[in-house]
Structure 1
């Protein structure tokens, strides 16, 4: 298993080209010095992630945008960064000279964010930029505790900086501002409604012409068990249809009244969107840990606010795997 280290040791390891799992308010990230191509390449090897899939670079503060990471920063991007950083927002911008091909997957754009977790911020004061996707095997459930990281990657990385459980629990919202017109590539910890309030204009979801970004594959965030994501109104019917297909769980808020077959085990998840987001990946990991072969997971009844991000993760967890 990877040793648990303090911030100074983590910084020393990163500067030496090593991999360190770091806490953020969203999920734990697998960090490498973003300006060392060989170190960044180790991220892809450890995760089993395609090298063409771009990474997010974590920065110490919003003013670091002007330190060579972005070629230009449109007014909308500046406004979002000023209001929402540090926080769970990633901005896609035209890359500057410090954003290497190893990080961008050869794209002309780069994803940048400033995390809010105090240990991550202390680490970034010591290391200029940290490339850090989620600290798990590619495509599987993201980690929200140091113990998750150890189970997934403990024999493949050099150290873990333990910052306790993640407060937000789902990844950052990714907003493409590289063309000057904001659009959402991935819903996350900042809601669409908050973005629109700050900018005073609609912020649409991106279409098929969107640039590549983390978390945009059809299948992602998935446990080993088969996940079936269903609307609340369809949950009882699907439960009866699937009840004979192995050991099955159903994950739903306790406030949702359902007619379920006796053979199916119901597992309560929080009804409050913020609490459900915080515990979402813990609940998906529990499906495997408890030996279920299949799980019916009820989508939020309201896909506004954090409900949009929760539904996105659950649908991707249930999408067919390649």
Structure 2
């Protein structure tokens, strides 16, 4: 059985983060708390690890895996360019529940699924997640559940669904309301909200100073 580390205890948190970092670097899966729901994560640059993540969720590559980052500046090395609209949204909502879809840098050797040359990026507002991301770098992270089942809001719920497919569980307590992030597509001429979640389309439009399209 995979170990679970109680991140409310400082010693267990340190041990858990170290174990999670080792697991990620070894191409294994970890469960981590985020500001929305619990996430199932791995090294974003390991195609084999991403395939393991999709297999653990019983999900195909037609639904690409988002990437979580630990700092604003990380995005610069991952995308083809950062438009002003992206900078404005990052400044307003990161870390937080806004995911940005941008063309990824063509030099990157990763396989996140059928992305059509794009990547969805987010910086989560959770100290445990941020500490791990700042240690290991960008991680491919999806909700910690079997596709079609409710997303996990505790580490125990994630373990019930994923079991020993995961190398390390980081228990950060119960997550907040299971509201997903708002997804904003910035690959076209006009910003488009693909999914309205924790941040409203009106709030996005206010930051951008313009109307936004909706899916």
Per the normalisation by structure 2, the TM-score is 0.90
- 1:155 to partner: Cα distance: 2.8
Note the 1:223-262 alignment, pairs <5 A: none
Note the 1:131-170 alignment, pairs <5 A: 131-170=140-179
**Using a 3 Å threshold, how does the CA distance of structure 1 residues 55 and 29 change in structure 2: closer, same or farther?**
same
| Contact kept in structure 2, 1:74 and 1:180, CA below 8 Å | no
Note the 1:192-203 alignment, pairs <5 A: 192-203=201-212
2: CA distance, partners of 1:76 / 1:106? 21
Note the 1:1-322 alignment, pairs <5 A: 1-5=1-5, 6-67=16-77, 69-97=78-106, 99-206=108-215
| Contact kept in structure 2, 1:22 and 1:120, CA below 8 Å | yes
- 1:167 to partner: Cα distance: 2.4
2: CA distance, partners of 1:54 / 1:98? 18
Greater Cα offset, 48-57 or 100-109: 100-109
* SS of residue paired to 1:164: coil
Describe the superposition over 1:70-128 as per-residue Cα deviations: whole angstroms up to 9, x where unpaired.
Answer: 11111111110111100001000001146555214241111001001000000011111
Describe the superposition over 1:186-245 as per-residue Cα deviations: whole angstroms up to 9, x where unpaired.
Answer: 111111121111111112212xxxxxxxxxxxxxxxxxxxxxxxxxxxxxxxxxxxxxxx
Q: Between Structure 1 and Structure 2, how many residues are aligned? A: 205
1: CA distance, partners of 2:109 / 2:34? 23
- 1:18 to partner: Cα distance: 0.6
Unaligned runs of 5+ in 1: 207-322
Per the normalisation by structure 1, the TM-score is 0.61
2: CA distance, partners of 1:198 / 1:137? 35
1: CA distance, partners of 2:82 / 2:109? 18
Looking at CA atoms only, which structure, 1 or 2, has the larger radius of gyration? Answer: 1
CA RMSD of aligned residues (A): 1.5
Unaligned runs of 5+ in 2: 6-15
| Contact kept in structure 2, 1:25 and 1:169, CA below 8 Å | no
